[in-house]
Amino acid sequence: MTLRAIGSASATIANLGPGFDVLGLCLEGPRDRVTVELTDDGRVEIVQIEGDGGKLPLDAAQNCAGVAARWVIERFAEPGTGARIWLEKGLPLGSGLGSSSASSVAAAVATAALVDPNIPRGVLLEACREGERLAAGSPHADNVAPALFGGLVAVLPGEGEAVDILPLAVPRDLVLAVAKPAYDVRTADARAALPKTMPIHDAVHNMAMIAGLVTGFATNDMGLVARCLGDRMSTPYRKALVPGFDAVVAAAHGAGAVGAGLAGSGPTIFAITDDRETARDVAEAMVDAFLGAGFESQAFVSAVGLEGATAELERG
């Protein structure tokens, strides 16, 4: 009889609307599942990865799930503890939906469930951010935090690299339509597309949009949300890396979406609706618009993932 933990964490939309590096939203799915078994040989190893098309490294030190699991073990487990890890990718890679974050978070909560179920999620966040540092070059929290905590969150700066995660109110009946075109955008390229400075009046624009967006979500005012999804910080520079962007956003609006924008660093485009049927129509319209721009795409609809990451124990 071996005790295993199965962690599950889902896709997330970072950089939501005007909220570059600040606002992140958790979806219900798709989800990555990470199964962890503890060992006493002090080694952390990735046994198997499914669903990645062979693209992810099995070397645990080079895999964000391995890094997050090791972080938890090094700080909270008995000396000599190791782990065997199975990773099932439900998220597409390079989509802008927080694929690496979902793996890091699922690995962290699964490992913690075996090592010490009382580790606060605020502490596990640091394990997940180390995974993110490996995958993206810096410990951005705007995918890992919503994947871990669920719902809509704001990442507030703390001392040095520390962050505080602020849960924000979001209507329960939002349904998102999400379309991923059949091309990738490397996070590094998306970062390189950004200027280092921006005009103050554009920053003022995004600040006003954030005030309105946060208020619109908290008061379930979809008209206000619709007016406050505009972004002048990253989208104007990154949409050049996402052929079809303007047509797909227009198609989403045309099909009844409250608003639409780039998910994370793209190329996936999200649209917000307040109704599952509309979300299906919007998803279809987005796929058609990508096709019109010359690209196949895959679309899905998802409610907001209010619960965040989960871990279950299994004996087998």
Instruction: Catalog residues that contact a second copy under the rule CB under 8 A.
Output: 18-23, 154-157, 164, 166, 168, 194-200, 203-212, 214-215, 218, 224, 227-228, 233
Q: In whole angstroms, how close is the CB of 118 to a second copy at the nearest point? A: 24
Q: Which amino acid is at 33?
A: R
The sign of the torsion formed by the CA atoms of 250, 254, 257, 259 equals positive
Is 28 catalytic? The answer is no
CB nearer to a second copy: pick between 194 and 303: 194
The residue behind tokens 């640091």 is 126
Q: In whole angstroms, how close is the CB of 52 to a second copy at the nearest point? A: 31
Assess contact for 278 and 257: CB atoms under 8 A: yes
CB nearer to a second copy: pick between 263 and 311: 263
Q: Which amino acid is at 270?
A: F
The sign of the torsion formed by the CA atoms of 237, 242, 248, 253 equals negative
Question: Facing residues of 27 across strands?
Answer: 304
Q: In whole angstroms, how close is the CB of 165 to a second copy at the nearest point? A: 11
Is 50 catalytic? The answer is no
CB nearer to a second copy: pick between 166 and 293: 166
Assess contact for 83 and 44: CB atoms under 8 A: yes
Q: In whole angstroms, how close is the CB of 122 to a second copy at the nearest point? A: 15
Alpha-carbon distance of 190 to 265, in angstroms, equals 6
Q: Among residues 37, 130, 132, 278, which one is catalytic?
A: 132
CB nearer to a second copy: pick between 93 and 224: 224
Q: Among residues 35, 111, 187, 273, which one is catalytic?
A: 187
For residue 310, what are its two tokens? Answer: 């989960």
Active site residues: 132, 187
